[in-house]
Structure 1
């Protein structure tokens, strides 16, 4: 058989196989960018402060890497806005694995920098506000891969709670504060081929009187725990422990947060909004190179007057 004929046949078989695979299993593209929803306020036509939802940039997703876009100039800020905040840009909204529908970003007159944060108003046919206090609502340019996820059992949570108390005691907290710091949020993280992983958040707020004055104090603990088998014996052990306590100006508050598979590699990632007084960043944590670790820290945001105006009233959906 002539060589040209063989090459053509190979090419035909290759394209036929590709077409068959595409028909049997539709192609899926991992998200290229992830945003978080924020609640903003602006003066409406009646002169009153009114809340509206906004998209806030978290990270660009490039395979296993999470990145910040290079934005050294106003021109690059505008380029970012044109690419991500155009009015026809559609985003998929998620609360954990639960889809909340779709929404469109509205390109503001200028793409603001809240000390590094990038955001734009959001339009949606469904009501998005008020946002959950502890569940981080995220927006992606492509649908997430959603997999079955079981809530941690009460027995498992009791074990994780004991690990949390041990972690707080190790930080030097008195026994009464350790006891009063309760779990406020928990979720399972899926790791194919690995045992159950639990992410849990603990908080306690109290008042402290000193020299006739009353001061607010915070206790925060973010814990990731897994069962570990060693010499035939399985015990739950902390894999990631982030603790912060003290006054609100210096303590880090962890949350809201979400456990989702951002890049479609089968392993869940943990997205956490980390706030210290009036500043915040988004951190992404996941199991990488055999251990749970921080993979990414986003740009710092700050409460500021330099935020985009909400969409015009006539364009807002009627509740």
Structure 2
């Protein structure tokens, strides 16, 4: 269902494009993408009308080919839709060859053989799909099944060879090929044990096929690696701030003298003063007083004593 929703979203590009774009598509050269969109629209529209008008409301319990087994409007419409869809896929492959030949041998499509091999496989898908409508399931079941299987095998050959045939294309094509391949493997793995019926498997398979074909057509001409966006150059501007170092005067003189060389005047040595006696006492000096200091202190104490008048 996811692949079908993506295909419908791609079809909206043309539906919502406006009458001017559709007019240019009719008057100008038709591209492979436009042919693919138109073919997918025919397939979806014809199948939806067949589902609405079918006399068997339980057809989905078997397969889509059940819609073409009735000799009424729904059966004729379903088979005609498959034939027209196959013819559209053949036209898509022919237009794809024209566009791929323009890019073959260039940087966007390095393998020259891809312009021949891929369109041939796409045309085989269309031919087998047309035979699914030409030979209904109730007419010849063996040939009907071989036709539907041939369409799936032709697309599988495109996926398996895309690594070599589509070398140089945008990396989105490689990612889409891997995801579609994984989707087909998952669909087969759940169909074989019986978790889904043949109708669900056909819906998933053909939705993935048309999604890949449309995505591939839109990716033609794109390089494998998109150019990286260059980072803006960092503009360096001169700083208006200055760094100021606060240092003692003598240390600043030494720095200035060392930077100026030996021709500058030498810095005067720092003068060291001895602390006073009171300062030594305050700092706790433990030296013993000399005899001279003791005499001076005794003399000061005697002079400081009060004198007594003996008259």
Q: TM-score range by the shorter chain?
A: under 0.3
Provide the TM-score with structure 2 as the length reference. 0.21
Provide the TM-score with structure 1 as the length reference. 0.21
CA radius of gyration, larger in: 2
Bigger share in strand:
1
